[in-house]
Copies of this chain bind each other. A is one copy, B any other.
């Protein structure tokens, strides 16, 4: 809560853009809302006061609110003000909203939910991919797995290669709504590794599972692809659940943090 002016590493678009004010305000407010600092139903201070307090113009603040409103986090009406909506109405599948959730330590329920979703989506997507994949999909998948193998999941490159592989499977499924879930699944994949990393050792070499999925998709076997992917995600789930229990136990010990 220091009067920080350092933009720090907040939000910059993919292309290394400098952060715009409306974007940073939307980011900060978004994080504050999903982390519960503003309770659902609560009404934000009015535009004039709040924008002054945030040291930005009313226009910039309003654009930030438009962004939050577009993602379902708030709702504004004349006279009433801008109210935080109920969490059911939040656009959880929105990449930004999900990122805001993960900006602070996310709710374990959300982690569980994401894994459950992955267990539902990814095997089915792999089956579809086995039927519809084009040669270039296989090229991308193979490249991703090779990068993953070379850099390992301990590196940023390896983790992003992991996400690239899962993205490619969804892409190869040839289903538009499934492709839109890529960022959601990607967030799940990312946090799998994060949680795994909290354990001292990586409990299991992830590569064989991945190659099995790839082989099944390449061979055009939907059912083999489905079960291989189910195996892969299931293993990740078990590892993560173990790490999650452990870190919760640790938290119980030192609440100091």
Contact = CB atoms under 8 A, between A and B. Distances in A.
A95 B103 CA distance: 24
A29 interface: no
A12 to B, nearest CB: 12
A219 interface: no
A128 B115 CA distance: 13
B92 A70 contact: no
A59 interface: yes
Given A120-B120, A181-B93, A176 B110 contact: yes
Interface residues of A, number: 42
A120 B116 contact: no
Contacts of A63: 62-63, 66
B70 A177 contact: no
A40 to B, nearest CB: 14
A113 to B, nearest CB: 4
A66 B68 CA distance: 10
Contacts of A87: 176
A43 interface: no
A13 to B, nearest CB: 8
A249 to B, nearest CB: 24
Contacts of A92: 176-177, 179-180
Contacts of A17: 77
A69 B177 CA distance: 19
A121 interface: yes
Interface string A90-107: 111111100000000000
A109 interface: yes
Interface in A168-204: 175-181, 184
A117 B67 contact: no
Contact of A177 (B26, B66, B93, B175): B93
A114 B179 CA distance: 12
Question: Which 5 A-B pairs give the minimum distances between C-beta atoms?
Answer: A92-B180, A70-B70, A120-B124, A67-B70, A113-B176
29 contacts: A17-B77, A22-B66, A26-B70, A59-B62, A62-B63, A63-B63, A66-B66, A66-B67, A67-B67, A67-B69, A70-B96, A87-B176, A91-B93, A91-B94, A91-B180, A92-B177, A92-B180, A93-B93, A93-B94, A93-B177, A93-B180, A94-B94, A110-B176, A110-B177, A113-B175, A116-B128, A116-B177, A120-B121, A120-B124
